[in-house]
Structure 1
């Protein structure tokens, strides 16, 4: 039984609509263990009100800026590490080492746990060959993209094409997606690959 779905309206899609960015920012704030309350945000609003763990209220205002066409599309490794550790529920804080004077130290990260332990983490670039037998794909995003490709093999139905398009979008924007969407995309990818 084929399901006849209407074509995607990219202008109306909340995944691609900048008016929904404030909603995404509010959702990201709700995932922080350091923020106790985040007010509702509606598409098109220009600020988000939240309260931190100490009870202090803040208003986060969005100021639109022209996108830089030459800007980076991916996070640098040190930014990704700091964000991943800082957003984990076991940690209170993660930050790049800041000296009194001079630039940020981009290879040293300070992390503090809820239990009170503090660590200095050193980031060193190195080459480590990947054994194809141990790991079929390098990243979860690659697994999601692989599942999208598998859906398009042969004569895919319209719903398989739409699912593949969505999986490819999530894989291509992996670093900008929140954890629940990543986990859902991985679950869909596992279901596709287990067929």
Structure 2
């Protein structure tokens, strides 16, 4: 007698593939109230993000030093980033490192450990390798229009599409508000 095992559903598998860890970190940062946008691509080891103040930063995934103590004190910026990463369901540990004020040790549920090194990257908004924030807003508008949208859904999608199309002409508070609305619609 042979046993039949069902196929593994990759979306539900706890064995996460490490090529998407940077994307998961960017996803976690986008859910932070301190971060406007965050971008990464599968297979890369860099996450770029922009804070509410308009400052751009980059996190680089590096091999973490072995340790048995993942509870370390840290400064405010790395604490906020670590908290955002830890709130993501795919991460088990996110600890700001001390005495260095610019690193965070993370561990995925799949067992991969990384040292995230924080760098100031003022040009992250103009980095053409990553999608623009306007595209994030337009993507949220597209999601509103699926599955028989109501009139209010259509109106919101039209407004978000307009803001996305005229992104460069909009002021920072309107951009931030549009990104917050888009983020709430895609969660």
TM category (shorter chain) comes to 0.3 to 0.5
Higher relative contact order (CA 8 A, sep 6+): 2
Q: TM-score, length-normalised on structure 2?
A: 0.32
Q: TM-score, length-normalised on structure 1?
A: 0.32
Instruction: Give the greater-gyration-radius structure (CA).
Output: 1
